[in-house]
Amino acid sequence: MTTPEPAPARRLLAQRLAAQLLSGPPADGTVQVAGHLLAVQAQDQRGARLAVRARSRARSATDVDDALTRDRSVVVTWLNRGTLHLVRTEDYRWLHPLTTPPLLRGNARRLAQEGVPPDDAERGVAVIERSLAAEGPLTRAQLGDRIAAAGVRTQGQALVHLLVLASLRGIAIRGPMAGREHAYALVRDWLGTPPGGLGRDRALTELAARYLAGHGPATERDLAKWAGLPLGDARRGLAAIAGRLADRDDGLADLAARHGVAGGEPPLPPPRLLGAFDPVLLGWASREPIVGPHGRLVAINGLFRPFAMVGGRAVGTWGMPAGKVALTPFAPLPEADAAALAADAAEVERFLGGPAGSAGDGGFSRAGPRGSSG
In terms of Cβ atoms closer than 10 Å to its own Cβ (0-12, 13-18, 19+), residue 261 is buried
Reported confidence tier of residue 246, pLDDT bands at 50, 70, 90: very high
Burial class (CB in 10 A: 0-12, 13-18, 19+), 185: buried
Instruction: Provide the residue type at 213 as one letter.
Output: A
Compare 371 and 94 and report the one with higher pLDDT. 94
What does the pLDDT read at residue 184? 98
Say yes or no to pLDDT of 103 above 50.
yes
How far apart (Å, rounded) are the C-alpha atoms in residues 16 and 253? 12
Helix axes 200-215, 89-99, angle to 10 degrees: 120
- Give the CA diameter of the chain: 62
**What local confidence, expressed as pLDDT, does residue 167 receive?**
98
What's the whole-number mean pLDDT along residues 237-248?
96
User: What pLDDT does 309 receive?
Assistant: 98
Contact in structure between 326 and 365 (CB atoms under 8 Å): yes
Least confident of 45-49, 322-326, 360-364: 360-364
Q: What sections of 241-292 are H helices per DSSP?
A: 288-291
For the four alpha carbons of 319, 325, 326 and 328, in that order, the dihedral sign comes to positive
Rounded mean pLDDT of 111-139? 98
Q: Mean pLDDT, to the nearest integer, of 55-78?
A: 97
Q: What are φ and ψ of residue 85, in 5° steps? A: -135, 150
Task: Report the pLDDT value the prediction gives residue 264, as an integer from 0 to 100.
Answer: 60
Is the pLDDT assigned to residue 20 strictly greater than 60? yes
Q: Hey, how many other C-beta atoms are within 10 angstroms of the C-beta on 209?
A: 18
Residue 365 pLDDT grade (very low, low, confident, very high; cuts 50, 70, 90): very low
Predicted TM-score of the model (pTM): 0.90
Q: Kindly report the CA angle at 251 between 247 and 255, in degrees rounded to 5?
A: 45
What is the residue-averaged pLDDT of the chain? 91
| 287 pLDDT tier (thresholds 50, 70, 90) | very high
**pLDDT above 70 coverage of the chain, percent:** 91
On whether the CB atoms of residues 315 and 370 are closer than 8 A, the answer is no
| C-alpha to C-alpha distance for 290 and 311, rounded to whole angstroms | 9
Average pLDDT over residues 192-212: 92
Handedness of CA 88, 89, 91, 92 (dihedral sign): positive
> Which of 2-16, 55-69, 182-196, 243-257 bottoms out in mean pLDDT, i.e. has the lowest?
2-16
Average pLDDT rounded to a whole number, residues 81-102? 97
List the single range of 135-149, 220-234, 261-275 with lowest mean pLDDT. 261-275
Cα–Cα distance between 118 and 122 in angstroms, integer? 6
Q: What are the two backbone dihedrals, phi and then psi, of residue 97, each rounded to the nearest 5 degrees?
A: -65, -20
For the chain, the first-to-last Cα distance in angstroms comes to: 31
Query: Is the pLDDT score of 357 beyond 70?
Result: no
- Is the pLDDT at 262 greater than 80? The verdict is no
Q: Residues 13, 14, 15, 17: is their CA dihedral positive or negative? A: positive
Q: How far apart are CA 5 and CA 319, in angstroms?
A: 37
Amino acid at 179: G
Q: Is 284 helix (H, G, I), strand (E, B) or coil?
A: coil
Burial status of residue 265 (CB atoms within 10 A of its CB: 0-12, 13-18, 19 or more): middle
In percent, the amount of the chain with pLDDT more than 90 equals: 85
